[in-house]
A and B are shown apart, each in its own frame.
Chain A
Amino acid sequence: MTEIQLEKITKKYGAIETIHGIDLTVKDGEFVVLVGPSGCGKSTTLRMIAGLEPITGGDLRIGGEVVNEHEPKERNIAMVFQNYAIYPHMSVRQNIGFGLYTAKMSKADKNKRIEETAEMLGLVELLDRKPSALSGGQRQRVAIGRAMVRNPVAFLFDEPLSNLDAQLRSQMRIEIKRLHQRLKSTIVYVTHDQVEAMTMADRIVIMRDGYILQSGSPTDLYENPSDIFTARFIGNPSMNMISAIATQNGLVAQNANAVLSVASPKVAVNSNVSVGVRSHALTVGEPTDKTGLTLNGEILVLEPLGSETLVHIDTADGVIIASAPALHQLAAGQTVSVTANVESLYFFDSDSQKALMRP
Chain B
Amino acid sequence: MSTTISEGLMQAKAHPGRIITWAVLLIGGLIMITPILFMFGTSFKDASQVYDMRLFPEYPTLDNYIQVLSDGRFLRWFGNSLGIATTVTLSNVFFDSLVGYTLAKFDFRGRYLIFLAILSTLMIPTEMLVIPWYLMASKLGWIDTYWGVMFPGMMTAFGTFLMKQFFETVPNDFLEAARIDGLNEFQIWWKIALPLVTPALSALAIFTFLGNWTAFFWPLIVTTSQEFYTLPVGLTSFAIEQSIQWEKIMTGAALATIPTLLVFLVLQRFIVRGIMLAGLKG
Chain A positions near chain B (C-beta within 8 angstroms): 50-52, 71-73, 77-79, 81-89, 98-99, 101-102, 130-132, 136, 139, 146, 163
B180 touches A83 (CB 8 A): no
Query: Is B192 on the interface with A (CB-CB < 8 A)?
Result: yes
Q: Which chain B residues border A98 with CB–CB below 8 Å?
A: 178, 181
B195 touches A89 (CB 8 A): yes
Known A83-B171, A85-B174: A73·B180 in contact at CB below 8 Å: yes
Q: Which chain B residues border A84 with CB–CB below 8 Å?
A: 279-281
- Contact code string B262-282 (vs A, CB < 8 Å = 1, else 0): 000000000000011111111
B182 touches A136 (CB 8 A): no
Beyond A81-B173, A89-B196, A102-B181, 6 additional contacts (C-beta under 8 Å) are A72-B182, A78-B180, A82-B281, A83-B281, A85-B176, A131-B279
Which residue in chain A gives the minimum CB-CB distance to B195? A89
Beta-carbon contacts under 8 Å, B85-131 to A: none
Cα distance A163–B277 when bound, in Å?
14
A88 touches B176 (CB 8 A): no
Which residue in chain B gives the minimum CB-CB distance to A87? B279
Cα distance A153–B282 when bound, in Å?
30
A130 touches B278 (CB 8 A): yes
B179 touches A72 (CB 8 A): yes
Query: Is B177 on the interface with A (CB-CB < 8 A)?
Result: yes
Query: Is B82 on the interface with A (CB-CB < 8 A)?
Result: no
Q: How distant is B71 from chain A, measured CB to nearest CB, in Å?
A: 46
Query: Is B68 on the interface with A (CB-CB < 8 A)?
Result: no
Beta-carbon contacts under 8 Å, B168-214 to A: 171, 173-174, 176-183, 192, 195-196
Rank and list the top 5 A-B pairs by shortest CB-CB distance, nearest first.
A88-B279, A132-B278, A102-B182, A73-B182, A85-B173
Known A83-B173, A89-B195: A102·B275 in contact at CB below 8 Å: no
B281 touches A72 (CB 8 A): no
Cα distance A85–B277 when bound, in Å?
10
Which residue in chain B gives the minimum CB-CB distance to A47? B176
Q: How distant is A67 from chain B, measured CB to nearest CB, in Å?
A: 13
Q: How distant is B178 from chain A, measured CB to nearest CB, in Å?
A: 8
Cα distance A194–B9 when bound, in Å?
56
Which residue in chain A gives the minimum CB-CB distance to B183? A101
Count chain A CB atoms within 10 A of each CB in B177, B277, B281 and give the residue with the most.
B177
Q: How distant is B7 from chain A, measured CB to nearest CB, in Å?
A: 30
Cα distance A131–B276 when bound, in Å?
10
Q: Which of B181, B192, B196 sits near A146, CB closer than 8 Å?
A: B181
Which residue in chain B gives the minimum CB-CB distance to A149? B181
Chain B binding site: helix, strand, loop or mixed by DSSP?
Answer: helix
Which residue in chain B gives the minimum CB-CB distance to A147? B180
Q: Which chain B residues border A101 with CB–CB below 8 Å?
A: 181-183
Known A52-B176, A83-B171: A99·B181 in contact at CB below 8 Å: yes
5 pairs, A vs B, C-beta closer than 8 Å: A81-B173, A83-B171, A88-B275, A102-B183, A139-B279
Which residue in chain A gives the minimum CB-CB distance to B198? A89
Count chain B CB atoms within 10 A of each CB in A77, A81, A82, A131 and give the residue with the most.
A81
A83 touches B280 (CB 8 A): yes
Q: Which of A71, A89, A163 sits near B275, CB closer than 8 Å?
A: A89
Cα distance A139–B171 when bound, in Å?
16
Cα distance A52–B177 when bound, in Å?
10
Q: How distant is B74 from chain A, measured CB to nearest CB, in Å?
A: 41
Which residue in chain B gives the minimum CB-CB distance to A74? B182
Q: Which chain A residues border B174 with CB–CB below 8 Å?
A: 85, 87
Cα distance A71–B183 when bound, in Å?
10
Known A73-B182, A85-B177: A136·B281 in contact at CB below 8 Å: yes
Cα distance A85–B171 when bound, in Å?
8
Cα distance A241–B2 when bound, in Å?
68
Q: How distant is B249 from chain A, measured CB to nearest CB, in Å?
A: 45
B180 touches A52 (CB 8 A): yes
Q: Which chain A residues border B182 with CB–CB below 8 Å?
A: 72-73, 101-102
Which residue in chain B gives the minimum CB-CB distance to A152? B180
Cα distance A89–B280 when bound, in Å?
12
A136 touches B282 (CB 8 A): yes
Beta-carbon contacts under 8 Å, B143-186 to A: 171, 173-174, 176-183
Q: Which chain B residues border A78 with CB–CB below 8 Å?
A: 180
Cα distance A272–B261 when bound, in Å?
81
Cα distance A205–B280 when bound, in Å?
28
Cα distance A51–B180 when bound, in Å?
8
Q: How distant is A130 from chain B, measured CB to nearest CB, in Å?
A: 7
Cα distance A50–B179 when bound, in Å?
10
Q: Which chain B residues border A102 with CB–CB below 8 Å?
A: 181-183
Q: Which of B180, B192, B275, B279 sits near A50, CB closer than 8 Å?
A: B180
Cα distance A280–B175 when bound, in Å?
46
Cα distance A102–B183 when bound, in Å?
7
Cα distance A98–B278 when bound, in Å?
17
Q: Which chain A residues border B176 with CB–CB below 8 Å?
A: 50, 52, 72, 79, 81, 85
Q: How distant is A284 from chain B, measured CB to nearest CB, in Å?
A: 41
